[in-house]
Amino acid sequence: MGTQRLSPIALLLPLLFASANAASDPPRPRGVGPEFAKFYKDAASFTCISNPSIKLDIARLNDDYCDCPDGSDEPGTSACSYISPLSPPQPSRVKIGQFNETLALPGFYCKNKGHIPSYVPFTNVNDGVCDYELCCDGSEEWEGVGGVKCEDRCAKIGKEWKKQDEARQKSLSAANRRRKELVTEAERLRKEVEDRISTLQTQMQGQEMKVAALEKNLAEIERAEKGKVVRAAGKGGKLGVLSGLAKERIQELTENMSRVRGERDTARSRIEELEGILRRFKEEYNPNFNDEGVKRAVKAWEDYAAQERPAPDDARDRDLDELLKPDSESAINWEEFEGEEESDVDVLYQFEAYLPTPLRTWLDAKLRDLRVLLIENGILADPHTDTPESKAVTDARSQLSTATQELNNDRSELTKHQDDLSKDYGPDGVFRALKGQCVEKDSGEYTYEHCILERTTQKPKKGGGNTGMGNFVRIEKISVDDDLPVDGKGLGSGERYVLKYENGQHCWNGPSRSTQVILACAEKDEIWKIVEEEKCVYRMEMGTPAVCGIKEGEHAAPPVHNEL
């Protein structure tokens, strides 16, 4: 079998279009492809392709003896197959006129009529094995070594290939369509972020103005509060102070009354208990024992019991209960008095009360300003230093703090979205549409999960905790050169996008786990293969339509099941 590492399809493809010209070419020596025909036109002699100084008699062409250093005199035999092959067979790489020890030709040319022409490595020529994968017409076994006879199977293989190719094209179109959808979706998501940014920016402008206004409002209220003349522990003016004191005193009295009532009740029940003891004593003592002390005690009890005593007044007790209730109807509504600024009497003696309202307001403001100025300059004592903040200030402060908090929330959301817009989401931002979608694959004792642009995880099938194999860090590109498996589910060769995941769970005696997910075009998202390349360093190969048709290369098309 071939020494070259390319798949049959890869070897066939370069010749797809060359075959169209083949019919018009003059007859060529055995094994020569149409693109090399020009070197073999002379009917009398042959000049080695890479060594024009070596000219041979035409009889030495395909005489099964290697004369040219580049093997070009043996296009139809394996005589020069020991020379390093061109890999991959690209005619453009032949450097004319320069001596080297590389074959000038990509291999033995099979016309493969009915299918696609192809080159077979020279080592395969006349080796007694039919290489139908590359040479469906069997022409590379022309000598019949060991009696081998390779029939022409191009019609059947070509038909099958065509079917496969159609499926491949269909799959490619589906993958490209899917990619287009993904790009559209990614654009929509990006637009959503952009829109949100502009909404937030407008919202923040308004919010900034609101915060500034509330700051001003708070400062003004605080300043105005400073200017208030009468302040004390209670709220409001003198009446407020009085009501504050009265409230405290009533509170104290109520508490004490409750306590005293409790003590009275305890004493009452003790007396009842003692009276009961004495009553039983009188009934049960033996009068025949002439005990003077006992007789005196019984007499004293009879005198005590005969005294008239007022019965407990239940109605009063009920009144007392009502009075002690905090929500009793007769309870005083202190708040009514707390808000009062000045008493009517105060107002009566206030000179400015007799002024017209506008003038009074103006004068009041001036007086307050003067008072604040005096306080701020230490000439008057600040009456507010040890008094609690007024409700007006507390409300203004809380409004400001709510508005500031809202502004800060908007600010951090804006930063998050702006950062997001500057992130790399791959070609055409396509991975934005796949972010957070998870794909799984079983492999060995684990199920592996890849949540796109988020994380990779190893989940033990037999139970136990999951292991983080890395969190998404960036997108990179690498060059790969792999054999493309028959089912096409592999990387092939060319530039490939890689999603890098790092800083996963720490590996005992090793690094933090990391994963690189190498992507190739496929009709749907699927993990093809997982390898632990080194301890805790993982490599996943994954197919996704997101990378289809981005880079011209062998793997621009998605894989199809290929049994050629």
Residues near ligand MAN (CB under 6 A) are 458, 467, 507-508, 532, 535-536
Please report how close the Cβ of residue 454 comes to ligand MAN at its closest, in angstroms: 19
Please report how close the Cβ of residue 33 comes to ligand MAN at its closest, in angstroms: 49
Please report how close the Cβ of residue 460 comes to ligand MAN at its closest, in angstroms: 8
CA separation for the pair 259, 248 (Å, rounded) = 17
Please report how close the Cβ of residue 538 comes to ligand MAN at its closest, in angstroms: 7
Q: At a CB cut-off of 8 Å and minimum separation 6, what does 82 contact? A: 66
Of 194, 186, 191, 193, which is closest to residue 432 (Cα–Cα)? 186
Query: Given the complex with ligand MAN, which of 15 and 537 has the nearer CB atom?
Result: 537
CA separation for the pair 199, 231 (Å, rounded) = 47
Query: Given the complex with ligand MAN, which of 264 and 535 has the nearer CB atom?
Result: 535
84 three-state secondary structure: strand
Please report how close the Cβ of residue 187 comes to ligand MAN at its closest, in angstroms: 38
Query: Given the complex with ligand MAN, which of 391 and 461 has the nearer CB atom?
Result: 461
Query: Given the complex with ligand MAN, which of 519 and 536 has the nearer CB atom?
Result: 536
Query: Given the complex with ligand MAN, which of 62 and 515 has the nearer CB atom?
Result: 515
Please report how close the Cβ of residue 440 comes to ligand MAN at its closest, in angstroms: 16
First vs last C-alpha separation in the chain:
15
Please report which helix (H) or strand (E) contains residue 396, including its range. Answer: helix 391-422
Query: Given the complex with ligand MAN, which of 144 and 444 has the nearer CB atom?
Result: 444
Please report how close the Cβ of residue 459 comes to ligand MAN at its closest, in angstroms: 11
521 within 8 A of 489, measured Cβ to Cβ: no
CA separation for the pair 367, 355 (Å, rounded) = 14
Of 479, 482, 564, 491, which is closest to residue 6 (Cα–Cα)? 482
Please report how close the Cβ of residue 463 comes to ligand MAN at its closest, in angstroms: 14
Query: Given the complex with ligand MAN, which of 6 and 536 has the nearer CB atom?
Result: 536
Please report how close the Cβ of residue 480 comes to ligand MAN at its closest, in angstroms: 23
Q: At a CB cut-off of 8 Å and minimum separation 6, what does 437 contact? A: 451, 452, 525
Query: Given the complex with ligand MAN, which of 299 and 461 has the nearer CB atom?
Result: 461
Of 475, 532, 541, which is closest to residue 507 (Cα–Cα)? 532
118 within 8 A of 162, measured Cβ to Cβ: no
Query: Given the complex with ligand MAN, which of 428 and 532 has the nearer CB atom?
Result: 532
**Gyration radius from the chain CA atoms:** 51
1 within 8 A of 131, measured Cβ to Cβ: yes
With b for 16 or more beta-carbon neighbours within 10 A and e for fewer, the 507-531 pattern comes to beeeebbbbbbbbbbbbebebbebe
Four-point Cα dihedral 182, 183, 185, 187, nearest 10: 160
